[in-house]
Amino acid sequence: MLGLGALAAAPAIGWTAQLAASRAGTGAAARTGEHDNVLWYRQSAARWEEALPLGNGRLGAMVFGRVGQERLQLNEDTLWAGAPYTPDNPAAREALPRVRKLLADGKYAEATDEVAAAMMGKPIRQMSYGTLGDVLLTMQDAAPPGDYQRSLDLASAVAATRYHTPSGMHSRESFVSAPDQVIAMRLQAPKGKLGFTLAWRGPRKVKAIASNHPGLATDLANAPATDWLQVEEAGPLPPDTAIVADGPDAILVTGRNEAMHGVPAGLRYALRIQVIGDGKLRYADGQLTLSGASTATVLMAAATSYINYRDVSGDPVAIVRRQLAAAARKPYAALKRDHVREHGSLFGTMSIDLGTSAAAQTPTDSRIALVGKQDDPALDALYLQYARYLLIASSRPGVQPANLQGIWNEGTNPPWGGKYTININTQMNYWPADPAGLGVCVEPLLRMVEELAQTGARTAQTMYGARGWVTHHNTDLWRAAAPIDAAKYGMWPCGGAWLCNSLWDHYDYSRDAGVLRRLYPVMRGAAEFFLDTLVEDPQGRGLVTSPSMSPENSHPYGSSLAAGPAMDRQIVRDLFAHTLEAGRLLGQDAALMARIADARARLAPDRIGGQGQLQEWLEDWDARAPDRQHRHVSHLYAVYPSAQVNLRDTPDLVRAARQTLLDRGDLATGWGTAWRLCLWARMGDAEHAYSVLKGLTGPRRTYPNMFDAHPPFQIDGNFGGAAGIMEMLLQSWGGEVLLLPALPAAWPSGRVTGIRARGGLTVDLAWEQGQLTALRIGGKPGDAVTLRHQGKAVRVKLDAGGSFRATGPELKASA
């Protein structure tokens, strides 16, 4: 236990020795290390969900590792459909009081019809994320391979393919460089035996269709008929596409994005590909052919004309020529060195060891297929590290935030448009960022919310006659803020408020004053919107939102629309609390803070229903809802990612939340399963959380390349699952740091270094046979930290060096 009054700072040497001893012990934490942080396979990718992802935040590539024809499918994070547009509907403001009255009178169907007729955005659909198409390398004299292996090293962010043919060893390695902003592939073969023809293939249509579609079958074993399958449709090159020689060793591809939903095409894009090799190179008909070589480097640069959500006047051709010219001047070894060093500066901030087993020595796809049939704690650690890798690869300062598929998308019409779905999915993308030592990756989200505060201010005034700003359940590259899709999904005004709460969490982990100064105006504007739009519940239960819904669930009265769903009240309660704290810290807006405090006190509280469940709506409708196992558990926001409902302070509400989770069941969509994992972990139920984790990491919800299977692929399940794993090991809420709060029996011994806690804290810890054996906390010198372990709390103080260390099975201080 931790509650030892004699706990004091211990010398670093003693703690380090204890940690090393813990790692090298005879228990399950002993490691072989050969396949740590590596995905590997004995065959090439047959489909997109088997290819390996690379990215630098802006550029993405999926590498297939095929012997006869290598395929790299490419993405650039601003290549979306459409152009700057404003979907706000001015008719909404007049309709708003009518809709509120219908909801107050219980006329839900009529209210839904009114919203559909007068309050939805125009157009009612947003723009979709796109793709740059494929680069294909058709190999000369390809032969059946022997000793084939394909891998992705997460620590170096390098994908490799190696195999033998009668001519000898062939190898390729690929990466996407952040320092040089290029995609690079290096090919090697015996002298004179390397040759290929390089061509670009334009975007193809890719549809997500139901797996029970006539004539098709899913390859997900025992998948229910509601699962989905990706299907490709070949097509001609998009109009306005040109492929030309751009020097003796390069081709240049230029084109336009797609028009969509009545919004014209507004972006131009460019892709430049250069081949540097020691053989003979020639150009013909839009293709480059290399022959008689032993080594070759293929460099790719891509850009669009996007400058910001209002300005598309950039020159992508000039950008790609400049980037590729600079990269081509560097030796390949220097390109790789700089890439590995920069990536490692982020990836190396955290390590995790949950133990190993024989399964860790088998290919990744085999390990996934056997989840639930054998123990593989190292796969759980790999899942967490893979999510960290994906976040680094899809969200860097200065780029776009990670969307529904990160930055990886095969077609021009991805599932759900590949947009930013902000009623859970975008927020979930960033749940693991700060705990996993990747707070720097949150900057794109902060910048997007700053931009949404601008477009959403226009939406708030036009559609609600309100101050501040609002956005609903989706947005896109153009920062559209109006409700979209359909009344039963889109009329939800809390997307911006939840984003603000996510960003407050980012601040709370770092305590970065610069982040707080950027965030406060955004939070203040979101709070002002709700001050102007909250209404009194007719039955006197408090302030509520109206119209709204509990995303994306229907209640028993033939609609989703309602007043004051639980999630809204919880989100607004957090928004008001965070804005009050930010205003206090910055000494801002005292009169406004008083109004916010008054409104927060009047919000309708959470309620426990007749079945002992936490109510999803203000009314006790849960037992009669059409979908009792709905994928969203929106009303459990208060448990996680918030902490309004928690074991320490609100045990009755935690019991109600547990009942809700039991009613909903464990297996949902990929991200829905991940949310359930986080919730069980937050409530301290280690074995139930681990059971949900196995459902998430197994073949039903994880593809062979470890992408999350919604299905189809959605990256939020990867990120939510990583957050859940960390919640099992360390939690920080309510002013305390909880050590090993939900440690399952499957991880009896292990260690984690570099995990973060709120308050600017970094934590290293180790355990043996389920008992904490070594602890180090780093933070601001002199800070007091409350630690909780096995139900007991102790308050410790960081020393002059900003550290607290303890060792031993009872965590006694070292001498």
Which regions of the chain carry the CATH code 1.50.10.10?
Answer: 96-122+395-637
Q: How do residues 175-190 score in pLDDT, each as one tens digit?
A: 999 999 999 999 999 9
The predicted pLDDT at position 235 comes to 62
d(CA 316, CA 254): 9
- The torsion angle over the Cα atoms of residues 706, 712, 713 and 716, rounded to 10 degrees, is -110
Is residue 214 pLDDT above 80, yes or no? no
Say whether pTM exceeds 0.85: yes
Computed over every residue of the chain, the mean pLDDT equals 91
pLDDT value of position 490: 95
Q: Tell me, what's the pLDDT at 204?
A: 66
The secondary structure element, H or E, covering residue 733 is strand 730-733
CATH topology of domain 58-80+130-203+238-347: Beta-galactosidase; Chain A, domain 5 (2.70.98)
CB-based contacts of 325: which residues, under 8 Å, 6+ apart? none
pLDDT tens digits for range 316-330: 999 999 999 999 999
> Which three-class secondary structure state does DSSP give residue 440?
helix
Q: Are 94 and 542 in contact (CB under 8 A)?
A: no
pLDDT band for position 782 (cuts 50, 70, 90) = very high
The per-residue pLDDT for 234 is 57
pLDDT at 34: 57
In contact, 561 and 616? CB cutoff 8 Å = no
How many CB atoms sit inside 10 A of residue 233's CB? 10
Q: How large a percentage of the chain has pLDDT more than 70?
A: 91
- Give the model's pLDDT for residue 205: 64
pLDDT reported for residue 412 = 86
CATH architecture of 1-27+735-815: Sandwich (2.60)
Q: Lowest-pLDDT range, 220-224, 586-590, 697-701, 765-769?
A: 220-224
Helix (H), strand (E) at residue 498: helix 495-510
Per-residue confidence band for 29, with pLDDT thresholds at 50, 70 and 90:
very low
pLDDT in tens, 466-496: 999 999 999 999 999 999 999 988 999 999 9
CA triple 354-357-363, angle to 5 deg: 105
List where CATH 2.60.40.1180 sits in the chain: 1-27+735-815
- Whether the per-residue pLDDT at 808 is higher than 70: the answer is no
CA atoms within 13 A on the CB side of 643: 16
Neighbours of 695 (CB within 10 A): 21
Domain 96-122+395-637: top CATH class: mainly alpha
The token pair that represents 448 in the structure block: 């997007």
Output the six-digit token pair for 580: 């009050």
The pLDDT of residue 433 is above 70: yes
pLDDT tens figures, 123-177: 999 999 999 999 999 999 888 999 999 999 999 999 999 999 999 999 999 999 9
For residue range 706-758, what is the model confidence (pLDDT) as tens digits?
999 999 999 999 999 999 999 999 999 999 999 999 999 999 999 999 999 99
Contacts of 349 (CB under 8 A, 6+ apart): 436, 437, 438, 754
Give residue-wise pLDDT tens across range 399-419.
Answer: 999 999 999 999 888 999 999
Q: What is the pLDDT of residues 566-610, one digit of tens each?
A: 999 999 999 999 999 999 999 999 999 999 999 999 999 999 999
Token readout for 395 is 């969200």
pLDDT grade for 217, boundaries at 50, 70 and 90: very low
CATH 2.70.98.50 in the chain is located at: 58-80+130-203+238-347
From 118-122, 375-379, 675-679, 811-815, the region with the lowest mean pLDDT: 811-815
